[in-house]
Structures are given as C-alpha cells and as structure tokens.
Amino acid sequence: MAASIFTAVPRAPPVAVFKLTADFREDGDARKVNLGVGAYRTDEGQPWVLPVVKKVEQMIANDNSLNHEYLPILGLPEFRANASRIALGDNSPAIKENRIGSVQSLGGTGALRIGAEFLRRWYNGNNNTATPVYISAPSWENHNSVFVDAGFKDIRTYRYWDAAKRGLDLQGLLDDMEKAPEFSIFILHACAHNPTGTDPTPDQWKQIAAVMKRRFLFPFFDSAYQGFASGSLDKDAWAVRYFVSEGFELFCAQSFSKNFGLYNERVGNLTVVGKNADNVQRVLSQMEKIVRTTWSNPPSQGARIVATTLSSPQLFAEWYDNVKTMADRVLLMRSELRSRLESLGTPGTWNHITEQIGMFSFTGLNPKQVEYMIKEKHIYLMASGRINMCGLTTKNLDYVAKSIHEAVTKIQ
C-alpha cells in the first residue's frame, strides 16, 4: 500500500487551555481544581445556563413563525443592531448619525478574523501585509494567531503588564504607541484584559486615545466581557464609547459567550464605526464578500436568543440581573482569595487580586510554582500564572490559598 500523502504533515502542539482541561479530567485525585478553563462556573463548580436564556429558548421553540431558512450573509439584522447598541450606548453619536454597521460572526474570534481579513485587504493600501499589528504583552494567545493567519507579516507587542508592581505599565504602553509607525493597528481589550485582569482607568484611556489620534493609529477593540467584568454594561464599554466620542473610526469585536453563557452557540458581532454612512456601507460590502467564503451564512439560534433578550425591556432587566449574579460571584472570590493569602502571611503583595477585574487574575506565580501547583497539588492553571476566578468555590478556597502559599514559600 502506498504511503499516505499526509505522512509529512507535522503534529501541531495542542491548544494549551484545552490540553489543561483534558489533563484535569484524567486526574483521579479528589482534591483536583480546574482554574484554567475560560468559562463561568457556579459555586458548585458547574456550568450555568442563565435563567433568562432558558426562558427565551422556550419562547423560540414555541414560535411557529420561525423556520430554518438562511439568514442574510451579514447576519440577523435585529441581533446586529442590538449588539452594536449595547457596545456603543443608546445615545451614541455614531448610531444617531447612521455611521455604524455590523457583521454577525462565529463568536468573538470570528469577529476578529473578519476584521483582520478586511484590514489586510483594504486598510493602509490594498493587501498591505506589512502594516504593523500591535498586541499587548501579554495577551490572549489567539490574537497573534488570528492576525498571522489573516496574512499580516509584522506582528509586534506593546508593553502592558508591569510584573514588578503587578499592574499596568502605562508609560511603556504610551512610549510604544509614540514609536509605532503611523497607521499601525492596535488590538485593545475593551475591559477585563485577558490574561492580566488589569485595565486602564478612564484617565489613562484618555491618554492612550490622545496618542493614538495624534499618531494615526487604528483601534481594534476586543470586547469579550461586557457586563461580566464589573456588573455594569456602561462601565465595561467606557473605553470604546470614549474613542467613538473622540471621532475615531474603529472596529469592535464582541463576544456573547461569557455574558450570555452561550459558549457553544458561537455568538459574536463585529461593530464598525466610520466617518459617515457611505464609508460604512462600502466596508460592509467587502466584509460580505469575506463572510461568503468563510462561513457563508451565520447560525440563528444564539443570535435569536441575544436579539430577543436585548430588544425586550423585561427580558433585558432579567438578563442584567443574571449578569450581575456572575460578576458579583467573581468579585466575591477575588476578595476571599486575597484575604486568605494575606491571613496566611503569603510572601509578596496580593492587592492585585482585588484590583484586577473580570474572569481572570494574573497571580504572579512563576512557571516553576505553577508546575508545583499542578503536579503536587492537582490545581490546574495556565503556565503564565493566570487563573479563572470562577474555578474558585467556597469549598476549595482554603485549599487553593494554602497551596499558593506553599508554592510561593517553597519554590522560588
């Protein structure tokens, strides 16, 4: 039998976070804790289907007017409109001036990819693969991969995390923006920076916007945690709305995985803000071509759930309450973990645990300490020291805190 034509294909390394989950599942130790997965968990350590989502799913199932016909290529119109509205705000000047558009996508990753493909083809010249794309150091690992796979050849990092003070390196960030070539693309986390959980303050965002405007840098926001981070939709969208108010043209990738708990429905939206309606329509016409050869047509179920919820005042209020439940649990776990570490006298400072925001915390644990946590304590976390605060529960908090204390004390 002839050798396979695929014999020379190398095996790709596994995706780290999914490998971590697989290792956790195979671990038979009763004490095991998974702090790696990027999804919400209840205090019982279980996934949570939002009550409002259950209600809307039932409404959709009972609606005999619905069918399984194709949606428009750019997606469900009422989903796109409502998704952009919560990103930009009810009183957004861009919405009032009709200079926004949007594309329903397969999750936040799909929104990033459609935006990246468009920018490579039509931004800063035609098919300009040499336009620098700046990604924060550190960032969500998929940011780099999406822009590389879209064809960009010059992926750079900008300073973000100050390991010594366990906070934002604002001066380094601003310096890197000052030195960036004009028209460079900057990927910005709208809120709940992944993996650090450290966000600029409104005043710091104003400084960032001032430099970007002066240097003609393009903002591409990634908004994966609106409402989930602070419990406030408006607070979590502050940066995006400020940039719009300053006259920027920008993209904003939105994910509804976290704030609706719709992880496997792949519900995302790419919001486009331009100078005028004509520009936006031309951009959307090109994005339609990209979508046609990527997934051709988006799925409807998740988008209908979000659109139905956001367009009904009563359902919206229920959803907001559900989101606040998730946000409040994360905030509680932050304060409880910090207080335990400080009570144990764990070396170092731990105020960053409560100063960070969102699903993730950058603990400051080094790779050797992480290895100790996994191998000796059966506590699974990313090599970077990132933990998912939702993996903490009232039942495992003491064990996790004591294990971190032990790791920091024993392993340098």
DSSP secondary structure code for residue 246 in this structure: T
Check if the beta carbon of residue 216 is closer than 8 Å to that of residue 188.
no
* 41 three-class SS: coil
Partner residues linked to 206 by β-bridges? none
**Distance between CA atoms of 237 and 101, rounded to whole angstroms?**
17
Hunting for tokens 């329509």 — which residue is that?
281
Q: Which residues are catalytic, by number?
A: 140, 222, 258
Partner residues linked to 240 by β-bridges? none
Hunting for tokens 């704030």 — which residue is that?
259
Closest CA to 151 of 122, 126, 182, 130: 130
CB-count burial class (<10 Å; 0-12, 13-18, 19+) for 232: middle
**Distance between CA atoms of 320 and 232, rounded to whole angstroms?**
8
- Amino acid identity of residue 384, one-letter, is S
- Amino acid identity of residue 60, one-letter, is I
Asked, as a colleague might, if the bond just before 195 is cis with ω within 30 of 0, I would say yes
Residue 107 — left, alpha, or beta (φ > 0 → left; ψ -120 to 50 → alpha)?
left
Which residues, including other chains, have CB under 8 Å from residue 107's CB and lie 6 or more apart?
255, 257, 266, 267, 268
**Distance between CA atoms of 390 and 376, rounded to whole angstroms?**
22
Closest CA to 258 of 18, 48, 111: 48
**Distance between CA atoms of 147 and 125, rounded to whole angstroms?**
17
**Distance between CA atoms of 139 and 194, rounded to whole angstroms?**
6
Q: How far is CA 117 from CA 128, 147, 266, 396, in A?
A: 11, 8, 19, 44
Asked, as a colleague might, if the bond just before 138 is cis with ω within 30 of 0, I would say yes
- CA angle, 336 as apex, 394 and 52 as ends, to 5°? 60
- CA angle, 223 as apex, 33 and 311 as ends, to 5°? 105
